[in-house]
Structure 1
Amino acid sequence: MAYRDNTPITAEDVESLSKIISVGNVDQVALQVAKWLREKMYGNDVREALAQWTIFTAKIAEYLVNDEAAFKLDVLRTKNDLVARQTQVESRQTDLENAFKSVISNATKDSEVILARSSSRYGAYLTLDDRIEYLEQLIGTYVPSGFTVTIKHNQNRNPDVKVRYYEYALGTEPDGIGTGPKGSFGGTNNVDVPTTVEYKDANTVLVHLPTNYRLTGAPIFEQDKWRLIDGYKTLSFDLGTVDTTAAIKGNSGNSTSQDNNVITAPQNLHATAINDTTEKLIWE
């Protein structure tokens, strides 16, 4: 396009552009400045066009920054409101549950059931169900029974096994790297898992774990350890120094299973009064 415009860029031209950009019409400003750059004949006008575009670019960036800050502030306020409401809901729910438990507790007259609510080691519980739930949580977290991982390691020995559980390791975040909860980048909730190890033969080990660490899938040997990845959750099995070639060949023989002797808590627990001093407990 020829340099055919010999008219200077005036103060009125600049003021007109300022008014246009103030209402957010970026396209019109861009077209006008581009036209100046293409067609102005004299160097001072071309330099003025470049200067104006630099100024308008800075203004656009300022608008974007301000809009982003306002958006973040709105998100933060909404988040705080939701957290406050959730806290209120949870508080009301807790009050309701405690009131319901109090009714159940006072309705029971059987001395044996009342005594069963208390523990010399862990203290008193409002209801028998609370104590059973607590025991179930202890079993599911610390008793290595209920979930078994079979590893075909092919090392021709009985290796020591160390198991670690963690969440949101690199590559396991649901929406890509860095998208896990705040503070979880690189992995979080690291726990050394209690185990019971059974050596089926010199090349196969059965690792029994608590039910709270039950994951789906099968462990795969990669580089130095066997890893069982289920979504953002990972179990890592360290068998010490291994022959990597032999370990990789055993990947097809690795598996997981639920133990037949898993300890489960009673479900649908009901108490039926037989007489003034005795109640019958029924559960599934």
Structure 2
Amino acid sequence: MDFRQLEYFLAIVDHGGFNRAAAALYVSQPSLSQAVKVLERDLGSSLFHRMGRRAVLTEAGAALVPPAREALHALELARAGVGAVRELRGGRLDIAAMASPAVEPLSTMVQRFTERHPAVSLGLRVALTSADVVEMVRTGRCELGLLTSSSPPTAPDLVPHPLGDHRLVLVTPMDGPFPAGRPVRREQLAGHRLIVGQRGTGIRGYVDDLSAHGIDVRIAVETEHRMAFLSLVLKGVGLAVVTDSWAELSARAGALVLDLEPPARQHIVLVSRKAQPTPAARAFLDIATRPATGP
């Protein structure tokens, strides 16, 4: 067993098949398949069920995933530690992020990081819910994760790094049901059609809480595609409750952005594993948790 085989194995797991993994690794599919066959022979067990173009983990394959990720993480630590004498001169950092914090504050953090460490490649991975972020970091698929939640995450093997709050706002068409400049009380949302995200997001939690308090809101569209909400609002499909990270973009697009009463907020948290971070992750954490006005 060698690290290349483990890298190929995890690529198949993460990309869902041999062809996609080969394309992502820039290797031929036969070379990838041969490496996995050798790994399976060394371990004495099949790792995948081949189902057409898909590859589904066997029980043995599922058992290999966590130690394989740990082994590659340890290798990355060793490589990065050697190369990072005075400054980062290469390497890669994968970050899982939900849609709203990916607009802000992630874009600003990435800008500051790339200005200081332009040789480090960043991989930004989509996570639909805070639980997805936690799982991607906990299992080692990403080293850092950015999420919003009504309450801070409490996974025992993760370290939370609070970054502040997002305020929730209401986005409506310019000729919508509420006047500009006045906060909208939650009771006023009764009877209106809302565009919502999937369960497990803080924004969906706000809407579900309205229903729990007897406010008759109606779900017009439930979508995992957060960028779709603005177009749907502007076309009159419904109203949307989003974080204020979307406020500037929504206003520029011609939507009306209104405060909610009483105010509602979501915590912004960057999470990392308790294991020693790579130099790239440590540098990103330093930038993310330092005030923007800092040196």
TM-score (norm 1): 0.24
Q: Which has the larger radius of gyration?
A: 1
TM-score (norm 2): 0.23
Q: Which has the higher contact order (CA 8 A, sep 6+)?
A: 2
